[in-house]
Structure 1
Amino acid sequence: MQKIGIFFGTETGTTRLVAKKIHKLLGDEIADKPVNVNRITLPEMLRYDALILGTPSYGVGDIPGRSAGCLEANWEEFLAGAGSADFSGKRVALFGLGAQERYSERFAASLIRVYETFQGMGAEMVGSWSTEGYAFEHSPSIVDGRFVGLVIDQRTQGMLTDGRIETWLAQIKPSLMERIALPA
């Protein structure tokens, strides 16, 4: 049986925490345990047809990585080895972290960069998320009036995290399930 792959980049551990919450709600039967992108190779990611990818926001609209100030390898370093990877036929949902009060002018800015990268490699992107309930000046991660993925502000809205994850998973799970083969 193929499962949903969950991969994340993290600097402080919060993106890992959210990935673990997602995995727990989906369960071991349909999702593999979340893995940090600094611990995998591209072929390991490509074996999945349904993916949930998580990113922190680091730098000023950068893909998180050492050049954006991260101490450990992150999405920048993983994607540097992706070259012309083909994600055609893959269905990808994203979640990203941000701090809407501290970085109101560029809230969750890294999410759009990861979105554009995987979309550019042919992935079918799913899982846009409403901007309602957030207070910020600007986010580049909004397309057609919605975030390109689930946005979590653990710093100022941590009490909303679990509910947001549950609602988002209810929206994306059917779409991701279409890509994995479950036994009859």
Structure 2
Amino acid sequence: MAKVGIFYASAGGNTTLVAEALKEAYELEDDDCILMEDDFDSVEQFDNYDVLFVGSSTWGQGDVHFSWVDPLFEITSDNISFAGKKVAFFGAGDSKTHGEHFCSALGKFNQIFTKAGAQVIGFVDKEGYNYTASLAESGDKLCGLAIDNINEKEKTSERIENWIEQLQGEI
């Protein structure tokens, strides 16, 4: 069975909701759930896993959480390879206040991890989302699970459950 690891950053706890659901669904140990601000030491931690669930809230002009900045720079500048790894992205955003950059952090992850050779899984239909623009868009899909627990809280649980079920078929 594939070894699964969760790497995530969350400011208000919304991205943590997804990380906790993934941890439960895949029956992961605490050591396999890396909160970027507290538990992340180096990009070598990614080597321990065949499947990575990578999460972040979106900040400012579509940026990843600040704790992801250095690791993503290191992945890019050191030409780290994710060949042979499956990666799925998740994150939280605010489709009304920041609808022009809704969950764009996922799109930035997608660019970096794809360039590094990862096989991206977990694309989600963008139907049912209401936002202006997003770097997470890939055709008629989003390149991962986007939740808006501020404006669409009633959709969050179902979106998470459906995504986890989808991932189980893609891993």
Q: Does 1:11 align with 2:11?
A: yes
Match of 2:117, SS state, is coil
Contact 2:10 2:57 in 1 (8 A): yes
User: Which digits, 9 at most, give the CA deviation of each residue in 1:18-75, with x for residues without a partner?
Assistant: 201221123238x96421123222111121011111111012022331xxxxxxxx11
Distance 1:6 1:138, change over 3 A: same
Match of 1:150, SS state, is strand
Contact 1:92 1:123 in 2 (8 A): yes
What TM-score, normalized to structure 2?
0.89
Structure (1 or 2) with the greater strand fraction = 2
Paired AA for residue 75 in structure 1 = W
Which consecutive unaligned segments of at least 5 residues does structure 1 have? 66-73, 177-184
Distance 1:25 1:12 in 2: 22
Structure 1 stretches of 4+ with a deviation exceeding 6 A read none
Written as runs of structure 1 = structure 2, the 5 A alignment for 1:170-181 is 170-176=165-171
- Alignment size in residue pairs: 167
Paired AA for residue 154 in structure 1 = N
Written as runs of structure 1 = structure 2, the 5 A alignment for 1:33-182 is 33-38=32-37, 39-40=39-40, 41-65=42-66, 74-82=67-75, 83-176=78-171
Paired AA for residue 91 in structure 2 = G
* Greater mean alpha carbon deviation, residues 116-125 or residues 5-14: 5-14
Contact 1:90 1:124 in 2 (8 A): yes
Contact 2:50 2:85 in 1 (8 A): yes
Shift of 1:90: 0.3
- Aligned-residue CA RMSD (Å): 1.9
Shift of 1:17: 2.6
Contact 2:4 2:32 in 1 (8 A): no
Task: Tell me the percent identity.
Answer: 30
User: Which digits, 9 at most, give the CA deviation of each residue in 1:129-159, with x for residues without a partner?
Assistant: 0111111122221111110001110111122
